């Protein structure tokens, strides 16, 4: 499909730079394609009212790491400042990363990362893939590497926020969800950022189960679609896991008449990656590079709670596939006209699928 079909104009003042306080006071637009009342303006606290006993809410329990590192590249007697964003772990001591100044990096270069006088972390460039992406091997591995990255790294705020203000101590809490336990993401599953303990309790009282899966969101989620046609876009892979017990719970809930409700596009993408042709969820562990555009037949997800996404982005294409392109174009026009807040720290919409 033509990428320009997914374009729209967003006033910059609609981009949220901080989350709502409390988190569950964010607005929520209810979208029901095919019904006479397409939109209902609500808040996240109203979510339990739109769920049914027996439904199962699927959340992504990935935890964001401080994946933005600053360092100095050395090659012989020459040096240059380098900033990298780790985006996918390859092994205990190896990461793929996007680098500012990547054209300066060659195989065999060494980079010394430090922050505010903290101990230095050294890495070697194993490969320069082009287009700003490199492969780094670190002098530390496993938990030792993770602890050092926690000390030296900065929270990887999305470009549309980081371009307007620097990350600060508040983001260390704001950019983690209530469910964040499994370290490895370099971007937050942002629909989860709206959740509070009180909302979680209210959903449980509604008779709705919550199931946790893991998709380590990569920095590729921020990359624009540069091609003119969706067929030419190359998705970056992300690692995910659904264990056998969770898969069985999901299948049992659906067999009993409950709906699978995906909390965020990351949960949806992993569920669809794990789904069989007949809609069963199979255990899953590995990479997924699923790219969902209009025409895709959804197999596993019945409702989707998600934030408002960037124009021409793979995520706006995904929601357009779920609820219909014309519907989502109308949704975004309504959201812009009625002052909804956009992107990672913004408001949300609860989407039903197109009939």
Domains and CATH numbers, the chain: 3-64+172-351 (3.40.1780.10), 68-152 (2.40.10.240)
pLDDT band at 117 (very low <50, low <70, confident <90, very high): low
Which pLDDT value is given to residue 219? 77
Q: How many CA atoms lie within 13 A of 309 on its CB side?
A: 25
Q: Which tens digit of pLDDT belongs to each residue from 150-163?
A: 999 999 998 899 89
Query: DSSP assignment, residue 2?
Result: B
Pairing of strands 238-242, 209-215: antiparallel
314-323 and 325-337 helices, crossing angle to 10°: 110
Q: Which of 199, 194, 160 is nearest to 177 (CA)?
A: 194
Q: What is the mean pLDDT of residues 232-254?
A: 95
In the chain, pLDDT over 70 holds for what percent of residues?
98
pLDDT band at 118 (very low <50, low <70, confident <90, very high): low
115 compared with 43, residue with greater pLDDT: 43
Q: Which of 3, 344, 338 is nearest to 189 (CA)?
A: 344
Distance CA 291, CA 240 (A): 15
Q: Which tens digit of pLDDT belongs to each residue from 254-275?
A: 999 999 999 999 999 999 999 9
244 compared with 73, residue with greater pLDDT: 244
pLDDT band at 104 (very low <50, low <70, confident <90, very high): confident
The four Cα atoms 94, 187, 84, 112 give a dihedral, to 10 degrees, of -60
pLDDT band at 80 (very low <50, low <70, confident <90, very high): confident
Q: Which tens digit of pLDDT belongs to each residue from 317-346?
A: 999 999 999 999 999 999 999 999 999 999
Average pLDDT, rounded, for the chain? 94
Q: What is the mean pLDDT of residues 285-302?
A: 96
- Judged against a pLDDT cut of 90, whether residue 286 lies above it is answered with yes
Token digits of residue 120: 């230095």
Query: Is the sign of the CA dihedral 176, 91, 118, 132 positive or negative?
Result: negative
- Judged against a pLDDT cut of 70, whether residue 172 lies above it is answered with yes
Which pLDDT value is given to residue 215? 97
Kindly report the pTM of this predicted structure. Answer: 0.93
Query: In angstroms, how far is CA 265 from the centroid of its own chain?
Result: 7
Q: Which tens digit of pLDDT belongs to each residue from 177-232?
A: 999 999 999 999 999 999 999 999 999 999 999 999 999 998 777 667 889 999 99
Q: How many CB atoms lie within 10 A of CB 287?
A: 12
Distance CA 166, CA 152 (A): 16
- Judged against a pLDDT cut of 80, whether residue 11 lies above it is answered with yes
142-160 burial, b at 16+ Cβ within 10 Å, e below that, comes to: eeebeebbeebbbbbbbeb
Query: For the sheet containing 303-307, what is the strand order?
Result: 39-43, 27-31, 348-351, 303-307, 260-263, 56-60, 209-215, 238-242, 284-288
Distance CA 21, CA 307 (A): 16
- Judged against a pLDDT cut of 90, whether residue 173 lies above it is answered with yes
Which pLDDT value is given to residue 102? 66
- Judged against a pLDDT cut of 90, whether residue 78 lies above it is answered with no
Which pLDDT value is given to residue 79? 87
Which pLDDT value is given to residue 336? 97
Query: Is the sign of the CA dihedral 49, 53, 55, 61 positive or negative?
Result: positive
- Judged against a pLDDT cut of 70, whether residue 119 lies above it is answered with no
Token digits of residue 74: 């050395």
46-68 burial, b at 16+ Cβ within 10 Å, e below that, comes to: bbbebbeeebbbbbbbbbbbbbb
Q: Which stretch of DSSP H or E encloses residue 30?
A: strand 27-31
Which pLDDT value is given to residue 182? 95
Which pLDDT value is given to residue 103? 74
């Amino acid at each position: 499909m033509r990428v320009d079909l997914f374009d729209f104009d967003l006033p910059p003042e609609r981009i949220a730079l901080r989350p709502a306080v409390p988190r569950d006071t964010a607005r929520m637009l209810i979208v029901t394609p095919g019904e006479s009342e397409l939109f209902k303006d609500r808040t996240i606290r109203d979510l339990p009212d739109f769920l049914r006993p027996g439904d199962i809410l699927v959340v992504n329990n990935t935890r964001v790491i401080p994946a933005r590192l600053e360092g100095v590249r050395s090659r012989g007697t020459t040096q240059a400042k380098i900033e990298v964003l780790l985006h996918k772990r390859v092994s205990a001591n190896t990461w793929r990363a996007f680098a500012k100044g990547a054209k300066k990096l060659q195989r065999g270069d060494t980079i010394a990362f430090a922050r505010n006088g903290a101990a230095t972390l050294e890495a070697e460039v194993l490969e320069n893939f082009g287009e700003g992406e490199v492969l780094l091997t670190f002098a530390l591995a496993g938990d030792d590497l993770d602890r050092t990255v926690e000390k030296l790294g900065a929270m990887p705020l999305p470009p549309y926020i980081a371009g307007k203000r620097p990350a600060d101590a508040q983001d260390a809490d704001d950019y983690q969800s209530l469910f964040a336990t499994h370290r490895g993401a370099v971007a937050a599953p942002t629909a989860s950022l709206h959740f509070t303990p009180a909302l979680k309790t209210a959903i449980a009282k509604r008779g709705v189960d919550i199931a946790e899966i893991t998709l380590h969101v990569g920095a590729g989620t921020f990359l624009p679609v540069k091609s003119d046609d969706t067929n030419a876009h190359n998705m970056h892979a992300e690692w995910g896991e659904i264990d056998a017990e969770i898969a069985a719970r999901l299948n049992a809930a659906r067999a009993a008449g409950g709906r699978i409700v995906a909390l965020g596009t990351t949960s949806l993408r992993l569920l669809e990656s794990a789904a069989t042709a007949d809609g069963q969820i199979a255990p899953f562990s590995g990479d997924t590079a699923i790219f969902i555009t209009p025409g895709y037949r959804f197999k596993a997800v019945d409702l989707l709670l998600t934030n408002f996404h960037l124009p021409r982005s793979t995520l706006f294409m995904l929601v357009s596939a779920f609820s219909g392109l014309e519907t989502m174009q109308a949704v975004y026009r309504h959201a812009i006209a009625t002052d909804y807040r956009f992107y990672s720290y913004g408001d949300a919409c609860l989407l039903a699928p197109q009939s």
